[in-house]
Amino acid sequence: MEKTMTDTIKLTLEFRSSFVRELWTDEAGGSDELKEPAVLDHYRRNRISLRKAAELLGLSYRKIMTLLSGYKIPVLQYEGHRFRLLA
């Protein structure tokens, strides 16, 4: 089942067209590619939960954990003598 966001805000970034054409074949590809690191950075800084990051990127819980491990972003945090799930 696919969830959709009913209330969205569109953010716009401006780049020279030659720069965009060098990196992406279309604007949508660039938008998706820029969205992922922004969401992961918010998760890394504890601004959003693991589930929220997965939702924003349209990924399952398992896939977001795999993605995080690929970027070496921890899912568990060690506090003193205990581990805490950052979800």
Q: How far is CA 42 from the centre of its chain?
A: 8
pLDDT at 6 > cutoff 70? no
Percentage of the residues of the chain whose pLDDT score is greater than 70: 79
Specify whether the backbone of 55 is left (phi greater than 0), alpha (psi in -120 to 50) or beta: alpha
* Distance from the first to the final alpha carbon of the chain: 21
pLDDT at 84 > cutoff 70? no
Query: Which helix (H) or strand (E) segment is 69 a member of?
Result: helix 61-70
Could you tell me the residue ranges of all domains in the chain?
Answer: 17-85
Q: Please tell me the distance from the alpha carbon of residue 39 to that of residue 53, in angstroms, as a whole number.
A: 6
pLDDT at residue 78, rounded to an integer: 60
pLDDT at residue 66, rounded to an integer: 93
**What 8-state DSSP symbol labels residue 67?**
H
Confidence class for position 10, pLDDT limits 50, 70, 90: confident
pLDDT at 52 > cutoff 50? yes
